[in-house]
Amino acid sequence: MARLERLGAELAARYGYRPIETPMFEQTAVFERGIGEVTDVVEKELFRIAPRSEDGESWALRPEPTAGIVRAYVQHGMQTWPQPVKLTMTGPMFRYDRPQAGRYRQFSQFDVEAIGDAGPAIDAEIIELAARFYRDAGLAAIDLQLNSIGDATCRPAYLEGLRAYYRSKIDGLPSVERARLERSPLRLLDSKEPAMEAVNADAPRITDFLCTACAAHFAGVRAHLDAVGVPYRLEPRLVRGLDYYTRTAFEVYPRGAAGQQSAIGGGGRYDGLVELLGGRPTPGIGFGLGLDRTLLALEAAGAAETPEMHALAVVVGADPAATADRLRVATELRASGLAARADLANRKLGRQLEAAAKEGAHFAVILGDELADGQVQLRDLQAGTQQVVPAADLVRHLTRAGDSHRHG
Ligand code: HAM
């Protein structure tokens, strides 16, 4: 996880995104207005914080970072900065749900947002950044799905078409979907209900309804993606689960997997969100990549790396009570940049060595009588060899031995 977090931060910096930290909780209205009231995330998955006082304020843990980042953009006058403002954040998100494989109540996202650029070139740049993240993480086989979900001009006609279609199928709809049909028919397309799969297979496609401007924008996104050589698959029923999206929408799956549960990342354009949260009309686009699910996909592909550990040296001693000597030597090794710990338990040398071996330490530095002559025993626990070295040369010996370990 730490490796993926570092990778995201490095990539974002290389693409010119600056880090932002928003609070882990916001006024509930930020999420209700931003993400939309008729969404799973707000209806079912919001972790609401019980109010403490009569001040009437309502707070919730962040289920995603975009609404909070856009709130900060408006509140802190970032509209006066040179546009687009490119921001990145990695951190924990919270969604109340039944925990299951790949679906957690606390999970981590690598997020980027570019606010103030209408695209379409930046759309392709952001999608390319997402694709590069997975490639650099070691996940070669991804399925990048792309769609345009139109805007306020063309979406109403599409929604009407969709409502009419679902009304004609009303008897086959699960009750939760029936209740949402009139207010938020897009959510039905995005439904996790198994019964909806067959119904949705014949639903009208948004791409048949796009207005001229949205169609031109979508063509521009595809042309730019082709120019930078990012493979993608058009998926006309991809709508995303949050209400703020306009035009470009994309999701990433591990290749071969399907279904809602397994999206390892997603994003899109949200040209109405800044205005919705109180700012001037300003376009924006971003993505959130799920780090927990990326890790699961890497494990499934056999590509998860075990973290590279430093060769650990444990400083042990013949005199159990001489903890000050052991602590001093370990402190010196650490000050020289080596990984070391002292055995500070008042126990026999044999037990100290046993503990070091159990821990998988590479070296034991043994302090004995020869310390009076400025010498220590250096035991290579993995090779099973031991030599006497001057204490003053210990750092050099350990560094050389550690290097030859690493390189075989
Ligand atoms: P999202 O699709 O809701 O989008 O979440 C992005 C990613 O977070 C998902 O693809 C998934 O990998 C991961 N994720 C979501 N819920 C869970 C969960 N319960 N457990 C584990 N992983 C999960 C957003 O959040 C948008 N803010 C993305 C965005 C940024 N759009 C524009 N800018």
Q: Is the CB of 147 under 6 A from ligand 1?
A: no
- What is the whole-number distance in angstroms between the Cα of residue 391 and the centre of ligand 1? 53
Q: Could you tell me the sign of the dihedral formed by the alpha carbons of 397, 400, 406, 408, in that order?
A: negative
Question: Within 13 Å and on the Cβ side, how many CA atoms surround 234?
Answer: 11
* Residue from 62, 63, 139 nearest 103 by CA: 63
50: DSSP letter: P
Place of tokens 């060769």: 311
- What is the whole-number distance in angstroms between the Cα of residue 32 and the centre of ligand 1? 16
357: DSSP letter: H
Phi-psi region of 242 (alpha: psi -120 to 50; beta: other; left: phi over 0): beta
Q: Is the CB of 97 under 6 A from ligand 1?
A: yes
pLDDT tens across the length of the chain (408 residues):
899 999 999 999 999 999 999 999 999 999 999 888 878 888 889 999 988 777 778 999 999 999 999 999 999 999 999 999 999 999 999 999 888 889 999 999 999 999 999 999 999 999 999 999 999 999 989 999 999 999 999 999 999 999 999 999 999 899 889 888 988 888 898 887 888 989 999 999 999 999 999 999 999 999 999 999 999 999 998 988 888 999 999 999 998 765 546 899 999 999 999 999 999 999 999 999 999 999 999 998 888 776 666 779 999 999 999 999 999 999 999 999 999 999 999 999 999 999 999 999 999 999 999 999 999 999 999 999 999 999 999 999 998 877 765 554
- What is the whole-number distance in angstroms between the Cα of residue 50 and the centre of ligand 1? 25
Nearest protein Cα to ligand 1, atom 10: 265
The reported pTM is 0.85
Neighbours of 93 (CB within 10 A): 21
* Residue from 94, 96, 90, 88 nearest 107 by CA: 94
pLDDT of res. 368: 96
